[in-house]
Structure 1
Amino acid sequence: MKSTQLNYLLGSIALLTTITSCHKDKIVNTQTAPTAERAGIYILDQGDLGQANSALTYYDYTTKVLTPDIFSSVNGRGLGNTANDVKIYGSKMYIAVDESGTVEIVDSKSAKSIKKVLFLNPDNTSKEPRDIAFYNGNAYVSLYNGTVAVMDTITYTVSKYITVGNDPEQLAVANGKLYVANGGGLNYPAVDSTVSVINLSTSTVTKTIAVGPDPYAVSVDSYGNVYVTAYGVYGTSNASLTIINSSTDAVTSRNNNYTGGAFAINGNNAFYIDGDGTIKIFNVKTFTSTTTNFISDGTTFVAPYAIATDPLSGEVFVTDAENYSSNGLIYAFDKTGKKEYSLTTGINPGSIILVNK
């Protein structure tokens, strides 16, 4: 399930799965200016909620070899309980493992562990690291204790915890600011409905912006627009999509009847998983939908779960969690929406990241 987010567990009981496929349309921001040919693709498998069976699947583009759990194979131990996010910064890959209270830092090419940073409360319970973003040599980690940790990417030490809203989820950087979706899911149905804006020069919150109830995903386009997707509260409010101008921090648009998930942006196209199980495209330049279904060859999914794009090839990747308790799948589509191949992943394949040679 989408990591340990209690609101989604409750919401799924209330049929919110029709909106977001098990609280997971996790986007992955690939390098904005890739300079090398791809080596392969990693899929972060969340595993079963409450069980230490998270995994890191790797597919090598050159050898065509799939390694079901490369992290375990290389390091002789598992990732832990409920891995929630993976990002690459420089030569290193950062993996947030929610229930275990860790951020694993590994070599992005070998998957060899470099450092395991603990995020634990005084009673040794997890602070629940959720999402990671980077700026000027720092990693910013959202934590379910209502803070964002500022971690140096050389020493791996935390210099500061910035207080934000309730149960912060995804993060994104735009115009020297960090935008933090405050979900508030642990208090469901009394969720949060805000985005905290952090000035990255001063590491202080400069503004709190009202968005839809229970925001969880944040993405940024090349024009500086910030897209915030929120679940809403079943029976009270719908899912929503809020667009923020990062130059002024003004809300420029809000769709309170949005039926899709988080954006995976490639150029002017934002791909997202809609509530009907199709893949749709939103044009971020014109703010209009451009297609009813990107998939052009009739491929369908049981439980579409995560989506990512490759700006080098134009490919679109979609994972399928299937029954949420056994191995899933990842599909690769070319830029015309035709299936290229599919691969078996671990349980609940929730994040996708591409790695260069």
Structure 2
Amino acid sequence: MKTNIRGYACFLLILLTSFLGACRKDPQVIPEEQVGVLPADPSRQLQGFYLVNEGNMGMNKASLDFMDFSTGIYRRNIYNQLNPAQINGLGDVANDAGIYGSKLYIVVNISNKVEVLDAKSGRRIQQINVTNPRYITFKDGKAYVSAYLGQVGVANAPNGVVVQIDTASLKEEKRIEVGRQPEEMAIVSGKLYVANSGGYTPLNYDTRVSVIDLNTFTVVKNIEVAINLHRVKADKYGDIYVTSRGNYLDIHSKIFVIDTKTDLVKARFDVGANNMVIDEDIAYFYGSEWSNNTGKFSLSYGMLNVKDEKILDKKFITDGTDANIKIPYGIAVDKYTKEVFVTDARDYVSPGVLYCFDPAGRKKWSVVTGDIPAHFAMVYK
């Protein structure tokens, strides 16, 4: 009798499971959206660019767009459409992106991974697991990823690391400890420069740029610069430009210039700079400096001649469009046409806007993006 009851119970369990399975719907893939922006131009040297939208923390809304100049079409949310098997989409907070060889690498901060896609098709190849990764750069068949390590916002988080990844095997080869909460990096003459922020401890920010000899993969020195470092960009004259975010109170954002031949700070510019891009002799930068005193952002736009190391008396937006930009959040330049692309994160929780400006600073076009548009990966012929 017990056997019959047990068998009947099993039958009911199987029936119930089948019923629930029939009722449950598979996750729906969010479809790609396409918007005609420009006339098709297949002859253009810049074929297009990927734009990575960070998405708000904890909302799993990072997304990938593509501006295709060969067709003139802006494609929103292509990752989910091209990779429907990835039910969680791109992940939580995409913090950087870069193309090296035939692959597109996307650093997804809170999801603790680097997504590797085919740069031509946008289809996923695999992911590389890295705890709390931040930025990526490349040299001689290697990818270098800065990573905070530890949990987000934890004051006693360990020192961060730089992870070396082989771009052929997509395997981590080694890692080295740097400062606290390392951010952006740049490579000059076989040395990797890493900005350390210490952003998890606002009363005790890190102040150093770590210098890694790539031949030995060892930290050979730490350069004292300023508190809460963030961006690092290299020019063609052997200098790197490093930004400090200040303390959001009485110490303001600045740009510092380091001579990589001597590894000494040789210049300082007292201007707000949250992000910058260097093209030939010009650094294009914007500031969106937050103040805890006023509870507001202070916005600014500027240009810097890196050859003469002088701030220019003009902006890269000249037609008043900057008044419509609430929070500038990403920037890139077409190295052939000298068009400048700037993104607006707006309120951080709804779709942003991508703007294109001609070399004279006049708006050419704009288009709606995903949430918090931030990181460009340019695709040239």
Q: Shorter-chain TM-score: what band?
A: 0.7 to 0.9
User: Counterpart of 1:132 in structure 2: which amino acid?
Assistant: I
2:321 aligned counterpart, secondary structure = coil
Task: State whether structure 2 residue 107 is matched by structure 1 residue 102.
Answer: no
Contact 2:46/2:334, CA 8 A, preserved across alignment: no
Q: Distance in 2 between matches of 1:84 and 1:156?
A: 19
- Matching residue within 306, 320, 333 for 1:284: 306
Q: Distance in 2 between matches of 1:188 and 1:278?
A: 24
Displacement, 1:236? 4.6
Task: State whether structure 2 residue 39 is matched by structure 1 residue 39.
Answer: no
- Matching residue within 344, 347, 360 for 1:336: 360
Q: Which residue of 2 aligns with 1:305?
A: 329
1:263 aligned counterpart, secondary structure = strand
Contact 1:218/1:262, CA 8 A, preserved across alignment: no
User: Counterpart of 2:166 in structure 1: which amino acid?
Assistant: D
Displacement, 1:242? 1.3
Query: What is the number of residues matched between the two proteins?
Result: 314
Q: Distance in 2 between matches of 1:40 and 1:48?
A: 25
Q: Which residue of 2 aligns with 1:296?
A: 318
Larger radius of gyration: 2
For structure 1, the 5+ residue unaligned runs are 1-35, 120-126
Which stretch shifts more, 296-305 or 314-323?
296-305
Q: Distance in 2 between matches of 1:167 and 1:193?
A: 11
Contact 2:105/2:116, CA 8 A, preserved across alignment: yes
2:168 aligned counterpart, secondary structure = coil
Alignment of 1:51-200 (within 5 A): 51-76=59-84, 77=86, 78-119=89-130, 127-145=131-149, 146-200=160-214
Change (3 A) 1:187 1:278: closer
Q: Distance in 1 between matches of 2:112 and 2:216?
A: 26
Residue by residue over 1:16-54, the C-alpha shift from the partner in whole angstroms, topping out at 9 and shown as x without a partner, is xxxxxxxxxxxxxxxxxxxx8222121110001111110
1:187 aligned counterpart, secondary structure = coil
What is the percent sequence identity of the aligned residues? 39
Given the two structures, how large is their TM-score scaled by the length of structure 2? 0.80
Q: Distance in 2 between matches of 1:39 and 1:235?
A: 43
For structure 2, the 5+ residue unaligned runs are 1-43, 150-159, 289-297
Q: Which residue of 2 aligns with 1:25?
A: none
- CA RMSD, aligned part only? 1.3
2:347 aligned counterpart, secondary structure = coil
Alignment of 1:222-241 (within 5 A): 222-241=236-255
User: Counterpart of 2:265 in structure 1: which amino acid?
Assistant: V
Which stretch shifts more, 326-335 or 289-298?
289-298
- Matching residue within 52, 56, 73 for 1:48: 56
Given the two structures, how large is their TM-score scaled by the length of structure 1? 0.85
Which stretch shifts more, 207-216 or 266-275?
266-275
User: Counterpart of 1:156 in structure 2: which amino acid?
Assistant: L
2:299 aligned counterpart, secondary structure = coil
Q: Which residue of 2 aligns with 1:211?
A: 225
Residue by residue over 1:158-197, the C-alpha shift from the partner in whole angstroms, topping out at 9 and shown as x without a partner, is 1111110001010111111100000111122311111000
Change (3 A) 1:344 1:251: same
Q: Distance in 2 between matches of 1:66 and 1:72?
A: 16
Q: Which residue of 2 aligns with 1:6?
A: none
User: Which structure ranks higher in relative contact order (CA pairs < 8 Å, sequence separation ≥ 6)?
Assistant: 1
Alignment of 1:237-276 (within 5 A): 237-255=251-269, 257-275=270-288, 276=298
Q: Distance in 2 between matches of 1:139 and 1:50?
A: 27
Contact 2:206/2:229, CA 8 A, preserved across alignment: yes
Segments of 4+ in structure 1 off by > 4 A? none
Q: Distance in 2 between matches of 1:332 and 1:291?
A: 21
2:99 aligned counterpart, secondary structure = strand
